[in-house]
A and B are shown apart, each in its own frame.
Chain A
Amino acid sequence: EVQLVQSGAEVKKPGESLKISCKGSGYSFTSYWIGWVRQMPGKGLEWMGIIYPGDSDTRYSPSFQGQVTISADKSISTAYLQWSSLKASDTAMYYCARQRVAWLPGYWGQGTLVTVSS
């Protein structure tokens, strides 16, 4: 069974750094793309970017390029999303999702709630 387990909720202050994780199991981690999706409070879904853990090929949505960094450690089957300097507007639920067909996210993590507040 494909499972994606994300790290727990975070509360941070503006300007702080953060790295959240997504651990995959039940499949070959290096053979499927994993993407990240943002959902701001009460809002819709926004695709942030995607990584292929096999060779770390990474693509970003133009809206998120330069704002976040996506990475993966294939030795522990874990993908990451990180910020170097958080803003209040980064407050959101963040989901990781594994490719189902093409780049389509088909298997989703449970979400990580990030709250940025002074």
Chain B
Amino acid sequence: DIVMTQSPDSLAVSLGERATINCKSSQSVLYSSNNKNYLAWYQQKPGQPPKLLIYWASTRESGVPDRFSGSGSGTDFTLTISSLQAEDVAVYYCQQYYSTSALTFGGGTKVEIK
């Protein structure tokens, strides 16, 4: 299986400040035939299912605020919240969908308000 490692496990950011979450895969999730990174980001709030924010590493899902952005390629990826809002308090997960034998998630990063 491809192992996804997120850092940090948690972070506290002041309202309006930038939050940055990292995700590293144990092998590349860049598919050479289409030059796409099979990497997604989710947001999960307590008591709710995960919500897809970003796919193909940097494509924002419809309706997702533009303060959320994804970047990276190959094995190293980043989710950035440019200006943290109160409603962004949640756990964020990365997921690779490159390996069709097992899609795997990172361990999650809890984002709180400082």
Interface SS of B by simple majority: loop
**In-complex Cβ contact of A44 among B51, B102, B105 (8 A):** B105
Cβ contact within 8 Å between B55 and A101: yes
State the Cβ distance, A20 to closest chain B Cβ, in Å.
14
Task: Tell me the complex Cα distance, A47–B100, Å.
Answer: 11
Q: Which residues of chain B are within 8 angstroms of A45 by Cβ–Cβ distance?
A: 42, 44, 50, 93, 95, 105, 108
Cβ contact within 8 Å between B93 and A44: yes
B61 at the interface (CB under 8 A from A): yes
State the Cβ distance, A76 to closest chain B Cβ, in Å.
22
What is the size category of the interface that chain A forms with chain B? 20 to 34
- Measured CB to CB, the nearest residue on chain A to B52 is A106
- Measured CB to CB, the nearest residue on chain B to A47 is B103
Cβ contact within 8 Å between A103 and B97: yes
Task: Tell me the complex Cα distance, A37–B101, Å.
Answer: 14
Q: What 0/1 readout, one digit per residue, does chain B (1-12) give for beta carbons within 8 Å of chain A?
A: 100000000000
A29 at the interface (CB under 8 A from B): no
- Measured CB to CB, the nearest residue on chain A to B51 is A108
A63-B102, A100-B61, A104-B40 known; 11 other A-B pairs, CB under 8 Å?
A: A44-B93, A44-B106, A44-B107, A44-B108, A45-B93, A61-B102, A62-B1, A95-B49, A104-B95, A105-B103, A108-B50
Residues of B within 8 A of A (CB): 1, 38, 40, 42, 44, 49-52, 55-56, 61, 93, 95, 97, 100-108
